[in-house]
Amino acid sequence: MKAYLLSIMKGQNTSFIGQLIMYLLVPFSMVYEWGVVCHRNLCRLKGIYKAPKPVISIGNITVGGTGKTPLVIWLAKNLQNKGFKSIVLIRGYKPQISKISDEVDMLNEQIPYIPVLAGGDRSANIREAESTLPADVYICDDAFQHWPLHRDLNIVTIDAVNPFGNGYLLPAGVLREPLSALRRADVFILTKTSASKNITALTSRLQKLNPKALIMESIYKSGATIDAFDGTIMPPDFLNQKRVVGFCAIGDPLSFELTLKNSSVQAVKFFTYMDHHAYNAGDIRHMTAYCRSQQIEVLVTTHKDTVKLRSFKSLFTGLRLVYVPVQLEITKGADEFFEKISSICLR
């Protein structure tokens, strides 16, 4: 049901029933927009916290996967290479069942020497970190709508394949705010551009909305295949000509499926779960039973999913679970972007 509703919100389901459901939800979108305005004004009345060091926000205007986390990792690593000490602030979504924060655990593995602080109150995290964790800059994940905190640079990631869904706010659509909110952005980063045919039209639309913002482009590249349980880096041709089963529980599962296809991985079956899904033994047995029935020996997933699966190692007996890290590569605008970043960090 959730997947069906999401297809309506993204404008992918244009059936009569789908359109009817969308229009029935539009009044609730109006209520949601009113709530957003009230929340923003209330936060302003309470006061906005300005951190002692610059804050770079990486956010979006829609729900679902737009590539924020790969960008956080990319930015943190590049700032570290340029000599800047950064701290990553993340809300740290925890499924009710498992209490595991998949994104936080993944960040800790991918950027082990950069502090990652989890919690909904980013201002409180910064205050607590001031005396113990020296920093030149704070990278704040999913903070475009985090009103209590002053941002020195607003970066907005936009899925170039499906930028704004059906154009409606939640719950009828995927928008968190009206498109006019994009005027607050300092930088737009278009993600998944290699899979989009409408980059020129999207760029033109963003320029009309916010002519002052820098517009960058990026693609995803798959990294080396890694064993999920022992961390072994597999040979470059490990997945070549292998029949595998793919699965994930991320905001945009199609992007991972396309990444595998672009890497010439032959996924016989692909299982998808809702973002932040807390895997249980039943999920694992369902997938592994399929593998055994089809004589498939390898399952492929994402790093974000891997951190939630290690306690189920015994259920993969006789099979191999690997993950393929997805890395962000900026294809347009990187030099100008770092000019902006450096000028902010050196204030």
Q: What is the pLDDT of residues 31-70, one digit of tens each?
A: 999 999 999 999 989 999 999 999 999 999 999 888 899 9
Q: What single-letter DSSP state applies at residue 165?
A: T
Across 121-142, average pLDDT:
92
Query: Contact, 99 vs 70, CB < 8 A?
Result: no
The helix or strand, by DSSP H or E, that contains position 209, with its residue range, turns out to be helix 199-209
Long-range CB pairs of 288-294, under 8 A, 24+ apart, other chains included: 288/315, 288/316, 288/319, 290/245, 291/245, 291/319, 292/318, 292/319, 294/243, 294/268, 294/269
Look up residue 38 and give its two tokens. 């009230």
Q: Would the pLDDT of 320 be above 50?
A: yes
146-204 pLDDT, tens digit per residue, is 999 999 999 999 999 999 999 999 999 999 999 999 999 999 999 999 888 889 999 99
Query: Contact, 90 vs 107, CB < 8 A?
Result: yes
- Rounded Cα distance between 258 and 286, Å, is 23
Domains annotated on the chain, with CATH: 44-221+328-345 (3.40.50.300), 224-324 (3.40.50)
Q: Do you know the residue count of the chain?
A: 347
Q: What is the pLDDT of residue 93?
A: 61
Give the CA angle between residues 208, 254, 326 to the nearest 5°: 85
Residues facing 216 on adjacent strands:
189
Express as a percent the part of the chain with pLDDT over 90.
Answer: 73
